[in-house]
Structure 1
Amino acid sequence: MIKNIIFDFGDVFINLDKQATYKELAKLEVTEVTEEMMQQYYQYEMGLTSTDEFVNWFHQKFNISKENLINAWNAILLDFPKHRLAFLKELVASKKYRLFLLSNTNDLHISWIQNDWGAALYSEFKNCFEQFYLSHEINMRKPNTNIFEFVLKENNLQASETIFIDDTKENTDAAAQLGIHVWNNSSEKEDVVELLNRKEFSV
């Protein structure tokens, strides 16, 4: 029986355009994504590099303005369909499940979301979850298994009673290795509001 639900954020609740940042960087003549760039990104996503350090690295490496870089970086972020918030609030009201958010994100993206949504909506969303785990705040990121082990241990969750929803297969594969039920949802074909229709909830 499922008692605990761990949600990803991007392309589960908020819509993303995953190619947008690459397209915007290309306009700034940054056309190749190197391993060095990805390592900077991973460090930033785990909160091991500050926003200033991250932005300065790109500014110095590619001689692009900090404002243009930040705009390109945040181009990935789109809208938050309100029917998903309504579904989430129904889950909370049912009191059937413990709800958690586990997101690979960074300070620039969260700051943009808070500004775009406004404090009231952001708080309303965040307060739906028992714990709101952002990778840059806990210094871990998916798909590393230690982040899932941390969530399970920190909240006394049984993997067999837990389902994890994420749009990235690499992340759900890692969680599944620990015995967690998973849904690798396709944001183009599926919506998180269909969650309770899955077989895991019919037992």
Structure 2
Amino acid sequence: MPPHPQPNKKLYCYVDESGQDTKGTLFVVVTVIVAEAREEHREFLRSIEKLSRRGSHKWTKSTRAQRYAYVEELVKGTRLRRSVFFSRFFNTTNYQDCIVKALSDAVSSVAGKEVCELHVIIDGISKRECHQIGPALRRRGKFLIRKVRGMRDESDEFIRLADSIAGLIRDDLDGIEPMQGIYKEAVRKRLIEEI
């Protein structure tokens, strides 16, 4: 039996979704991947939460002004370039498969053919779902899954970022200005990438 390949990178993956309210019409999965300088990125996210006066609130519990200020601060710089990925799925309610595909595609985009150790944190999933997602990810790529766990999105800056990008994408699709302009700028700067 060949030995397991040694991972070249350790990736922290934070996942949130939006769209279950559409009953399968649209489902958006956002994955934030951080390899290095995780605490510096976390501090940056804390600072824009403070500047926007959004604090640790979810996208849907923030005011429109707070949402706009948050994403505007985010796109001013390039600190998280090639770290935030999203996938859109249409006409499906197989949400777990969508999450696994989006996460796998995002990791492959970052890692290429390198073997990576993954620490995966997904907003609002149960322990049972965590135990299903790990093996499903292994089947899709050369991933050493160190941990898959659920978390509430108020608990972590990266999960709140994923929640915000999912909200921004929904606002863009709904034609809400000035969010459409911010969305276009974030895509142009490669701060968010569709996979």
Question: Normalization by structure 1: what TM-score?
Answer: 0.37
Higher-Rg structure is: 1
Greater per-residue helix proportion: 1
Answer 1 or 2: which has greater strand percent.
2
What's the TM-score once normalised by structure 2's chain length? 0.38
